[in-house]
Amino acid sequence: MISKIKKIAVFTSGGDSPGMNAAIRSVVRTCAYLQIECIGVYRGYEGLVEGDFKPLGARSVNNIINKGGTILKSARSDAFRTKEGRKRAYDNLVTNTIDAFVVIGGDGSFTGAMIFNKEYNFPVMGIPGTIDNDIFGTTYTLGFDTALNTAVEVIDKIRDTASSHNRLFFVEVMGRDVGHIALNAGVGAGAEEILIPEENLGLERLLESLKRSKKSGKSSSIVIVAEGDKTGKNVFELKEYVEEHLPIYDVRVSVLGHMQRGGSPSCFDRVLASRMGVKAVEALLEGKSNFMVGIQDNKIILTPIEQAIKGHTKIDKELIRVSDIMST
């Protein structure tokens, strides 16, 4: 393959997610395989603006496929939001004879890449790394599967204590705008109710459902609440509301928080990251730019970054129905 692209930079940006290291490894190894140079950029766009670069060879990414977080560190960069900052980033790329970059991050990171591409006609490729699974153009983002497994493991433990004490637990999981983690982890962990940002279940229905649970002989219950659920109450207010209206329940709250972002990536995320990294490099070498790599119907595909940013992911209505049936 004869290509103008001889040196590719790779970095991680925005919130970290499990599988980012596996994606870095894949980009680096694909470059080595195709005999082009690869440069790691530390701290996302901040490192691009400051010229925080380090050459990465195939052996420099040994033993990272199983590690959470990102060896290149991640950051949010205000400087890159400015024209001057992006000019400095461009100058650093030119000085280091870098021909293209791969950014692993969320939609903010892709917006930055798209703007940069428009200003400098610089080849860019995105890999979706975020646990929220909220990026259009891919059925799965890197880290989502691991975050689900982490959440389910913890909810299983909460269930043990809930059933020992006949308690009701509200468990808050991540998801300000989307309920993919809540819905999938909720079904996977056998939750009685799942509150997500996409559907307004209503507090009345929640009370009805909890009453039904008690009547049907359930001694303990788990309700999964996404951070951005639409009841208008946070998880602690929900506890107070239920205790006030259904005093039969002894209610506890557990907020899973940042533990959902950490940990060793699942096999699914490692495989996905490996596939996406190969595609990102190959696509750049084929002269493609301004795309995000995604997976659909188990095929690795490219979506224009502009579409990936503007599009909206949809919650799986069928899974909501399954969840309703399971809570009978």
Alpha-helical runs (H) found in the chain: 20-33, 44-50, 83-95, 107-120, 144-165, 180-188, 203-215, 235-245, 267-285, 305-310, 317-326
Q: Is 259 near ligand ATP (CB under 6 A)?
A: no
- The interaxial angle of helices 203-215 and 235-245, nearest 10 deg, is 60
Provide the mask over 118-157, with x wherever binding to ligand ATP is found by CB under 6 A and - wherever it is not: ------------x---------------------------
Identify the CA nearest to 175 among candidates 238, 255, 68.
255
Interacting residue with ligand ATP among 58, 115, 271, 300 (CB under 6 A): 115
Provide the mask over 5-34, with x wherever binding to ligand ATP is found by CB under 6 A and - wherever it is not: --------xxx-------------------
Our answer to whether residue 132 is catalytic in this structure is: yes
Segment near ligand ATP (CB under 6 A); pick from 104-112, 234-242, 277-285, 293-301: 104-112
Neighbour count for residue 313 (Cβ, 10 Å): 18
Report the amino acid identity of residue 53. Answer: F
The label of the residue with tokens 């533990």 reads 259
C-alpha 52/C-alpha 50 separation (Å) is 6
C-alpha 254/C-alpha 61 separation (Å) is 37
Q: Is 109 near ligand ATP (CB under 6 A)?
A: yes
Interacting residue with ligand ATP among 37, 52, 107, 193 (CB under 6 A): 107
Q: Rounded to the nearest whole angstrom, what is the least distance from the CB of residue 80 to ligand ATP in the complex?
A: 4
Nearest CB to ligand ATP, comparing residues 49 and 185 = 49
Q: Is 117 near ligand ATP (CB under 6 A)?
A: no
Nearest CB to ligand ATP, comparing residues 22 and 147 = 147
Tell which positions 28-67 bind ligand ATP, by CB under 6 A: 45
User: Which residue's Cβ lies closest to ligand ATP?
Assistant: 108
Element (H, E) at 171: strand 167-173
Six-digit token string for 77: 């960069």
Catalytic positions: 132
Query: Which residues of this chain interact with ligand ATP, rule CB under 6 A?
Result: 13-15, 45, 76-77, 80-81, 105-109, 111-112, 115, 130
